[in-house]
Structure 1
Amino acid sequence: MPPATHEAQCHCGALRIRCQGDPVKVSLCHCRDCQRRTGSAFSIAAFFPRTAVSLTHGTAKRFARGSASGCDVTFFFCPDCGTNLWWEPARLPDLIGVASGAFADPAFPMPEQAVWSVDRQPWVILPEAVVEHERNPVRR
């Protein structure tokens, strides 16, 4: 059976990427930076190997900043609608994070972990299957 293909796009459809295979991990982040970036209580990212992600339509703008983990992150977003579609974390140079909601797939895998629970909104209750970390665990 051929590997799964996942298509993600921005709100207006001008920016699209294709991810080959299944994500290496799906992670929910409660940090204040992700809350500001998404305008929500958290973000959910699907991480794919860099070699599995390709831009299929459009040209992205970029924005780089530091992160709660102390490493820079470069975000790529649609210049038309502003959707933050994917990002490249310097902390994980072999992976690309993709906004899970951009797949618009109700069958997409749920997060297996939640990081930065120290910043979690008190009303957010996660499923028991999601492992919660007070900060971001070190990846080895």
Structure 2
Amino acid sequence: MNVTGGCHCGNIRFEAEVDPAAVSICHCTDCQRLSGSPYRASVRASADKVRFSGSEPAAYVKTADSGNRRVQAFCTLCGSPLYATSETDRSTLNLRLGAIDQRAALEPKRRIWRKSALPWSEDVTHIPAAERE
């Protein structure tokens, strides 16, 4: 599936080819902290099928709970997370679903690091909702 996306301020844009079957939700504490939410959703893409325009994303390396060293890329102006990848093998990018324009069409297929899931985040259907506020 061809997708487009970018950061919140528009400083960075991208086009990519993603596999809709490779969408996941991660409940790890790093993803909670990095996203400012109970979990982070992402989709895998081959790095050679992602094209960035505008400014170059900034990045830093974080050792995850798994022990893997993960590169976290983001916009230097607005701080929007764009992707994560392995420090040693950057052939696959995990594009952040929130940065993708077509995110509504990319339904998660799996959840990982559920042991860190916030108990209330598993089902929010009972919480009163408003279409707009």
TM, length-normalised to structure 2: 0.83
Whole-angstrom distance in 1 between the partners of 2:43 and 2:8: 18
Identity %: 27
Provide the secondary structure at the position in 1 that maps to 2:93.
strand
1:60 aligns with 2:57: yes
Cα–Cα, structure 1 residues 109 and 91, in superposed 2: closer, same or farther, change >3 Å? Answer: farther
Provide the secondary structure at the position in 1 that maps to 2:104.
coil
Q: Deviations over 1:34-93 (max 9, x none)?
A: 000000000001111121112122121111111122111111111110111112124864
User: Which AA in structure 2 matches 1:32?
Assistant: T
The answer on whether the counterparts of 1:27 and 1:44 sit within 8 Å (CA) in structure 2 is yes
1:76 aligns with 2:69: no
**2:13 is matched with which residue: 13, 16, 20?**
16
Q: Structure 1 residue 120: deviation in Å?
A: 0.5
Map 1:1-140 to 2 at 5 A: 4-23=1-20, 25-90=22-87, 93-125=90-122
Whole-angstrom distance in 2 between the partners of 1:5 and 1:105: 9
Provide the secondary structure at the position in 2 that maps to 1:124.
helix
Q: Which has the higher contact order (CA 8 A, sep 6+)?
A: 2
Higher helix share: 2
The answer on whether the counterparts of 1:89 and 1:97 sit within 8 Å (CA) in structure 2 is no
Cα RMSD for the two superposed structures: 1.9
- Residue 131 of structure 1 corresponds to none
Unaligned runs of 5+ in 2: 124-133
Whole-angstrom distance in 1 between the partners of 2:50 and 2:62: 22
The range that moved more, 50-59 or 102-111, is: 102-111
The answer on whether the counterparts of 2:81 and 2:99 sit within 8 Å (CA) in structure 1 is no
Q: Structure 1 residue 107: deviation in Å?
A: 3.4
TM, length-normalised to structure 1: 0.79
Figure out how many residues of one structure are paired with residues of the other and give that number: 123
The answer on whether the counterparts of 1:60 and 1:76 sit within 8 Å (CA) in structure 2 is yes
Provide the secondary structure at the position in 2 that maps to 1:118.
helix
